[in-house]
Structure 1
Amino acid sequence: MSKAVRKTIEEAKETGNPELDLQDKQITSLEDIPGLLSMENITRLTLTHNKLISVPPAIANLINLEILNLFNNWLEELPTTISSLNKLRILNVGMNRLDALPRGFGSFPELEVLDITYNNISEETLPGNFFMLESLRALYMGDNDFEIISSDIKNFKNLQILVLRDNDLVMLPKEVGELNRLRELHIQGNRLEVIPPEVGSLDLLGTKSCLRLENNPWVPMIADQLLLGPSHVMDMLRNESYKFMYQRHLQTGSQPPPKNLEAKNRKISRKSLNPNFVK
């Protein structure tokens, strides 16, 4: 443990500061920091830009934790105990090497913001209760391996921001149209050819809204309207000719465009760790 880390821990204990910032400290293991995992008063723990490979089960001891930021580490897994952090509101595990989320992950009762951007997670490696996170307001799932999103996404009634950019999505569920509070939808950089007409009922064009659609192999009807702007696409989703075309597209069952495996394999999250780097 470096002197800087030791000093930060000692100062936090002396002052009772509930916010602990340990970003960019070359930390490889939380268990090497004496006393950290018994600091029950901590409400915010920042561990970004370190070299953590795992999070110990004892993270559950931080019973008052509200914000946990693990962005840009080397995490390959999360403990099942993490979902027992009943006060957690914000969890950022973006820019890691996660292939899956642990069993029971959907048990957070207060989680509002979840960021799993830039990992290797797919619909097959989400836990069974993932879509029980009904308190979510923002969900960032960009740069992963999702090909489909479950219709259970309709359970996220409070969701305002949904980011699915740069995955392998071939279809968006019509249940996205039931997310009445959604104000941002980012689906650029996928393999999408059509959009469910139900999405046309959402308010995605206001001054505080955002709809990103670019870099998909859209059918000509969508591609032509997108050249004029997202508002034209939203108008089109509500007309009968598009709804007819959409149903025909589903019935034909055509093969989606192929994955860009070359780009996926270049991802840092795909590369094996050099054990010499972990000290």
Structure 2
Amino acid sequence: MDGPEAAEGDNVLNLCRLGLENLSQELENLSMEQVAEDRRKEVHQLLLSHNRMMVLPPQVATFSNLLLLDISNNNLAYLGEHILGLTKLRTLLAKNNRLDEFSLPKEMGSMKLEVLNLSGNHFEEIPSQIMQLQTLKTLSLGGNRLKGIPEEIDNLISLEFLYLGGNFITSIPPELANLPYLSYLVLCDNRIQSVPPQLAQVYSLRSLSLHNNLLTYLPREILSLVHLQELSLRGNPLVVRFVRDLTYTPPSLLELAGRTIKSRGIPYGPWELPENLRMYLDLASKCPNPKCSGVYFDSCVRQIKFVDFCGKYRLPLMHYLCSPECSSPCCSASHSSESDSEDEASAAARRMQKVLLG
């Protein structure tokens, strides 16, 4: 995702598309002649994109009041220490370069960045310096070579927008649930196979992009995301071919006995059973079928159930039954009609507004 476009004005210095491999001389001339010290202090946005820079000119540090620096679409493989002198910098756009996890200054974590766009580079992991940017609100690392998301992601306590699409990520860390302001999470075009139930704790989440992954089901906890307005799921196995496979291991004699005791309400106490068996009986899970009074322990049927959102969109969610014969009736409500009550309509409005399956 691109960063904000800078408008031309007195506080904008646009040196885009000069086609130069080295802008040091150009900036040196500007620093000494055309851009006096007072003028350099007035520049808030410096645009250096679409050149052929291999090195960020040290003269950039002379623009001490920069708020935005755009060095995208160059040939940069390293950001020098002089960028740390831009203490007021809030937006750094460096997409489509040759940067990797070894390209950033070690002390970059001390900067007060709010927007960082490093998409289209060569990162195989997210550098630890980025995990120290506690003022960061927007982080874009799409189109890189990332294989995972570090657990330290929850250090980014101000993060609102996280774009990690187009990588090789295989799993979502539960630590994402610790980001209190995360509203937009883009994880499309990766290799993610499951969604952790903890993600349902990100109550601020409004948009979740998971299309073109390897998802076969969603956790039922995702229904708790009451503020979610958009969920993108196209291009996953759960959409292109709905998974209905039943996996069932015959229960052991211990489980059969435990099921009988629990389903029939047979009383037991510390004098009838040893402690390990009492603990085992306490682990019983009730069958989700409302017409079934059965329980299960270790042996259960894994099944996909379809649940309606807003009376229209069907979501496949994983649930577990006590036996193959115990089929839970469809609990989804019929499609919304004009006769729906206002209470039902308002409740639907609080649920997901768009589920992108196509």
Q: 1:63 aligns with which of 66, 69, 87?
A: 87
Matches of 1:230 and 1:54, distance apart in 2: 52
Q: 1:48 aligns with which of 45, 64, 72?
A: 72
Q: Tell me the number of residue pairs that the alignment of Structure 1 and Structure 2 aligns.
A: 232
Task: Establish whether residue 23 from structure 1 lines up as the match of residue 49 from structure 2.
Answer: yes
Counterpart in 2 of 1:109? 134
Q: Considering fraction of residues, name the structure with more helix.
A: 1
Task: State the TM-score, normalizing by the size of structure 1.
Answer: 0.74
Task: Establish whether residue 74 from structure 1 lines up as the match of residue 150 from structure 2.
Answer: no
Q: Considering fraction of residues, name the structure with more strand.
A: 2
CA contact (8 A) 2:208 2:231 kept: yes
CA contact (8 A) 2:150 2:173 kept: no
**How high is the sequence identity, in percent, across the aligned residues?**
25
CA contact (8 A) 1:83 1:106 kept: yes
Task: Establish whether residue 184 from structure 1 lines up as the match of residue 207 from structure 2.
Answer: yes
In structure 1, list runs of 5 or more residues that go unmatched: 249-279
Matching residue's letter, 2:120: M
Q: Structure 1 residues 110 and 167, CA, compared in 2 at 3 Å: closer, same or farther?
A: same
CA contact (8 A) 1:187 1:212 kept: yes
Q: Structure 1 residues 4 and 24, CA, compared in 2 at 3 Å: closer, same or farther?
A: farther
Q: Structure 1 residues 128 and 84, CA, compared in 2 at 3 Å: closer, same or farther?
A: farther
Counterpart in 1 of 2:231? 211
Matches of 1:75 and 1:117, distance apart in 2: 13
- What are the Cα deviations for residues 90-146 of structure 1, in whole angstroms up to 9, with x where unaligned? 0000011111222243211210000000001122xx555222111100000001111
In structure 2, list runs of 5 or more residues that go unmatched: 1-21, 245-302, 325-358
Matches of 2:305 and 2:151, distance apart in 1: 39
Task: State the TM-score, normalizing by the size of structure 2.
Answer: 0.58
Task: Establish whether residue 153 from structure 1 lines up as the match of residue 176 from structure 2.
Answer: yes
**1:111-126, aligned counterparts within 5 Å?**
111-123=136-148, 126=149
Higher RCO structure (Cα 8 Å, ≥6 apart): 1
- What is the alpha-carbon root mean square deviation over aligned residues? 3.0
- What are the Cα deviations for residues 191-216 of structure 1, in whole angstroms up to 9, with x where unaligned? 111111111121366xxx32110101
CA contact (8 A) 1:105 1:127 kept: no
Matching residue's letter, 1:112: K
CA contact (8 A) 2:203 2:227 kept: no
Matching residue's letter, 1:216: N
Task: Establish whether residue 233 from structure 1 lines up as the match of residue 306 from structure 2.
Answer: no
In the TM superposition, what is the alpha-carbon distance from 1:7 to its structure 2 partner? 6.2
The ranges of structure 1 where at least 4 consecutive aligned residues each deviate by more than 4 angstroms after the TM superposition are: 2-10, 221-226, 228-231
Q: Structure 1 residues 190 and 36, CA, compared in 2 at 3 Å: closer, same or farther?
A: same
Counterpart secondary structure, 1:83 = helix
Q: 2:320 aligns with which of 240, 244, 250?
A: 244
